[in-house]
Amino acid sequence: MEKRLLGNTGIKVFPIAFGGIPIQRIDIDSAVKVVRRAIELGIDLIDTARGYTDSEIKIGKAIKGIDKKVYIATKSGNRTKEGILRDVETSLNNLGVESIDIYQLHGVNSREIFEMVMSKDGALEGLKEAKKRGLIKHIGVSSHSTDVILDLIDTGEFEIIQLCYNFIENKCEEKILDLAKEKGIGLIGMKPLGGGMIENAKIALKYVLRQGYVIPDPGMETIREVEENVAIAKGSYELTEEEIKEIERIRKELGSVFCRRCQYCQPCPQGVHITSLLGAKSIVKRLPKERIVSGWVYDAYLSGKNCTRCGICLTKCPYNLPIPDLVEENTAFLEKVIKELRGEV
């Protein structure tokens, strides 16, 4: 199996990485078995984050004592120098390593956040300090916004960029993929299955894998998923005529109501967490019960009740999504799920 270079980092890895979000949902022993099976089958880049509850801890236990080189990527949503340095130390402790291969600024999705992390005493300074001290080896960033990614590339500060890429969210094909390759910036393709919205893993992964410069990192929580994804990565990436037709069918099915998380609709004057609500069905598939009945998911559900259908969001959405209708639909969906999880129905 031919490995892929991650930009100019010198890191050469299996064509797909292991996404560490879903293992939050399973117990430690099960998570360790899933991660180790992935490593056994050749996956050697594992991506996680400080925000993924115990994902780092589970991955740390899984990689302890293994005799294969595995690259670890993690990230922090902290926006200050001191804050992200504390998070680096926590990540090192959770993962049980002396140095982390790739540390990313997590979710730089708006110009406001961009300015914060790039400012004096911002998070980028913290990662530079961590790299200087040998705590991390490469600096990366993740973002859901193609516009912000272009700004991030222009800074020349990032060796790896993690971006949304699937056959529905493919705006990055217009400029970003070629520009990143030209500048030697490695690309990790998050949400290759659209955060769980695309159920056909074969065509979804093949679509991204066709771009030899991108490393997709599907989230996995079962050995079956690991084995299936590895088999896809080891096969042909050429899409058949039938698969192309299926892609078009799914695009038509999801295209008019599929939130790309560009966040142009935010902020809502009523405080509705629009992008979180519009991804409710994907969130419920990916997160453990505790993360749904409390915390930011529950807060998003409550915020949906504040929608007045003022229509301001409709004027901002570049995809002309019927946002108020979707907010209402997904708020009702979350209410039903939360009640079921709490045993109230």
Whichever domain contains 229, its CATH number is 3.20.20.100
Average pLDDT over residues 326-336: 95
Pairwise CA distance, residues 95 & 195, whole Å: 25
Pairwise CA distance, residues 51 & 54, whole Å: 9
The beta strands (E) that lie in 184-224 are given as 186-190, 214-216
**pLDDT (0 to 100) of residue 255:** 67
Lowest mean pLDDT among 69-78, 100-109, 189-198, 330-339: 189-198
Pairing of the two strands 12-13 and 4-5: antiparallel
Q: Based on the domain organization, do 92 and 239 belong to the same domain?
A: yes
Backbone angles phi, psi at 38, to 5 degrees: -60, -45
Pairwise CA distance, residues 342 & 182, whole Å: 51
Based on the structure, what is the number of domains in the chain? 2
User: Omega before 267 cis (within 30°)?
Assistant: yes
Q: Based on the domain organization, do 202 and 278 belong to the same domain?
A: no
Amino acid identity of residue 82, one-letter, is E
- Domain-located, residue 261: no
CA angle 297, 105, 84 (to 5 degrees): 95
Q: What is the residue range of 67's domain? A: 4-245
Q: Decide if 206 contacts 237 (C-beta within 8 A).
A: yes
Residue 261's pLDDT band (cuts 50, 70, 90): low
Q: Based on the domain organization, do 153 and 219 belong to the same domain?
A: yes
Which CA distances in Å does 131 have to 95, 101, 136, 290?
17, 10, 5, 34
Per residue in 274-306, pLDDT (tens digit) is 988 998 887 887 788 888 898 889 999 999 999
b/e per residue, 179-189, with b = 16+ CB within 10 A?
A: ebbeeebbbbb
Task: Write the CB contacts of 327 (distance below 8 Å, at least 6 apart in sequence).
Answer: 272, 274, 277, 278, 304, 307
Judge whether residue 89 has pLDDT over 90: yes
**pLDDT (0 to 100) of residue 262:** 66
Domain limit, last residue, from 200, 224, 245: 245
Judge whether residue 215 has pLDDT over 70: yes
β-partners of residue 160 are 140, 186
**pLDDT (0 to 100) of residue 279:** 86
β-partners of residue 74 are 103
Q: Based on the domain organization, do 207 and 307 belong to the same domain?
A: no
**pLDDT (0 to 100) of residue 256:** 58
- Domain-located, residue 250: no
- Domain-located, residue 264: no
What is the pLDDT of the chain when averaged over all its residues?
94
Q: Based on the domain organization, do 67 and 127 belong to the same domain?
A: yes
Q: Based on the domain organization, do 98 and 175 belong to the same domain?
A: yes
CA angle 167, 170, 174 (to 5 degrees): 140
Q: Decide if 81 contacts 129 (C-beta within 8 A).
A: yes
Q: Based on the domain organization, do 115 and 238 belong to the same domain?
A: yes
**pLDDT (0 to 100) of residue 195:** 76
Judge whether residue 83 has pLDDT over 70: yes
- Domain-located, residue 269: no
Q: Based on the domain organization, do 231 and 320 belong to the same domain?
A: no
Q: Based on the domain organization, do 140 and 73 belong to the same domain?
A: yes
Residue 194's pLDDT band (cuts 50, 70, 90): confident
Amino acid identity of residue 144, one-letter, is H
For residue 26 the two structure tokens come to 């399973």
- Domain-located, residue 267: no
Per residue in 23-58, pLDDT (tens digit) is 998 999 999 999 999 999 999 999 999 999 999 999
- Domain-located, residue 252: no
Q: Decide if 152 contacts 161 (C-beta within 8 A).
A: yes
Average pLDDT over residues 16-26: 94
Q: Based on the domain organization, do 331 and 240 belong to the same domain?
A: no
Q: Based on the domain organization, do 33 and 123 belong to the same domain?
A: yes
Pairwise CA distance, residues 284 & 264, whole Å: 23
- Please identify which residue in the block is written with the tokens 């090192």: 92
Please choose, from the candidates 100, 21, 77, 82, the residue with its C-alpha nearest in 3D space to the C-alpha of residue 53: 21
**pLDDT (0 to 100) of residue 316:** 87
- Domain-located, residue 262: no
For residue 171 the two structure tokens come to 């705006």
- Domain-located, residue 86: yes
The 3-state DSSP class for residue 22 equals helix
Judge whether residue 196 has pLDDT over 80: no
Domain limit, last residue, from 208, 224, 245: 245
Q: Based on the domain organization, do 233 and 319 belong to the same domain?
A: no
